[in-house]
Amino acid sequence: MDKFKDKKNFDDFVKARLEKDKADTERRLRDRWENLQPFKTPQDVPTLPNVDKKEWNDYFVPKLIEAGAIPKKDLVDGEYYIGDHRCTRIAQWNEKKQMFNYWKMEFFPHWDHCNHFEDDDGFALFVPIAIGTKEEFDKYSLDNFRKKK
């Protein structure tokens, strides 16, 4: 264990350690995104980073699309999509609202909505990777409702 001469010495150590940890985290994040493999399941979608809008649009959005995320321009109104979101793995695209609809099972089941990953609003985003069916949507929603009971 390190011994410190005084508080300044300790503070300098902590500051250096935090900077190193931050740099290591950023390097691991960059490595993960530089080596994205094609998405086969919603679990393959990495955690979306909290970055500035320009970096999000210029770097991360194209990386998601390269790995198989469906761009917003290719979505079809009323179609069900399998993908990644913190509350669901399947959602329905609503062209008029330009958002996904899904059943949220928090406290009680209710209809909720979220943005496509190209429309980052600071809240959880849906990353669609495949077309789903109404049957999958209904089964997923019902299964999640049963788990919450």
- Phi then psi dihedrals of residue 13, to 5 deg: -60, -45
Q: Measured between alpha carbons, how far is 73 from 60 in angstroms, rounded to an integer?
A: 17
Q: Does residue 98 have a pLDDT over 90?
A: yes
Mean pLDDT of 95-120: 91
Summarize pLDDT for 13-34 with one digit per residue, the tens: 889 999 988 888 888 888 889 9
Residue labelled with tokens 């194209």: 62
Average pLDDT, the chain: 90
**Closest Cα partner for 126 from 92, 97, 95, 78?**
92
**Closest Cα partner for 131 from 83, 81, 97, 92?**
81
Q: Per the confidence metrics, is the pTM higher than 0.85?
A: no
The beta-strand segments (E) located in the chain are 80-84, 90-94, 99-106, 108-116, 125-131
Q: Does residue 143 have a pLDDT over 80?
A: no
Question: If you write DSSP's letter for every residue of 68-85 in order, what string do you get?
Answer: TPPPGGG--TT-EEEEE-
Write the DSSP symbol of residue 4: -
Q: Measured between alpha carbons, how far is 30 from 99 in angstroms, rounded to an integer?
A: 28
pLDDT of residue 58: 95
Q: Does residue 1 have a pLDDT over 70?
A: no
Q: Does residue 149 have a pLDDT over 60?
A: no
Q: Does residue 140 have a pLDDT over 90?
A: no
Residue labelled with tokens 């970055």: 51
- Phi then psi dihedrals of residue 43, to 5 deg: -70, -15
Band the pLDDT of 3: cuts 50, 70, 90. confident
- Structural domain spans, the chain: 69-148
